[in-house]
Chain A
């Protein structure tokens, strides 16, 4: 059974720092991996989608990597801003199995 784990559960950083969020999964047979952000009381906003054949995807200040063999993905956020404060979720496969999320707080 696929399990997805995100570490840390919560993270607080000062504005301007670069940071890394971690996601691990137990079954490497995945279609793809998707990173989302969720603001309080809101739905999920897709950030990046990495297909199983890809190693990384970039969008603006965000970079996501995928290492299927080790069952890991990282989301790198450069030059963090207060507007980045949200919960970040990773999810794998097709019907999407989610981790519990990392709650990020960026303090001005």
Chain B
């Protein structure tokens, strides 16, 4: 079956612009996670959804970052007023239910802020 997909695969934007990154989880997975990975580092947690609600958003670095999952499936990570420091690979993962389950990752979106 289909895995986690993310679009776009690459996004180049200018400082100060707004961007949206999309994640399509595995069908039937209720839990969805966003992570950010900088070069040479392990991924860092951003936010976790259980169904439509954000169960844990403690990893969002500031209020420029926001994520939604209105129907409990597709999720969009939104970044306002982008800064060069936001450049990273943004990874999405899903799992069948909650945090005890195996997480499956998408290929990521590489964001470059010029």
A interface residues (Cβ-Cβ under 8 A, vs B) = 4, 31-32, 34, 36, 42-46, 49, 51, 89, 91, 93-101
Contact = CB atoms under 8 A, between A and B. Distances in A.
Interface string B68-100: 000000000000000000000001010000111
Nearest to B91: A43
B103 A96 contact: yes
Interface of B: 4, 33, 35, 40-45, 48, 56, 59, 91, 93, 98-100, 102-108
B43 A46 contact: no
- The main secondary structure of chain B at its interface with chain A is loop
Contacts, number: 56
Given A43-B107, A43-B108, A46-B103, A96 B35 contact: yes
Contacts of A97: 45
Most chain A C-beta atoms within 10 Å of own C-beta, residue among B33, B59, B105: B105
A32 B105 contact: no
Contacts of A45: 105
27 contacts: A4-B42, A31-B99, A32-B100, A34-B102, A34-B103, A36-B105, A43-B106, A44-B43, A44-B91, A44-B93, A44-B105, A46-B102, A46-B104, A89-B42, A89-B43, A91-B42, A93-B99, A94-B48, A94-B99, A95-B48, A95-B56, A95-B59, A95-B99, A96-B33, A96-B43, A96-B93, A96-B103
Contact of A100 (B42, B91, B100): B42
Contacts of B35: 96
A4 B48 CA distance: 20
Contacts of A44: 43, 91, 93, 105
A98 B91 CA distance: 13
Contact of B42 (A46, A49, A98): A98
Contacts of A101: 42
Contacts of A95: 33, 45, 48, 56, 59, 99
Contacts of A93: 99
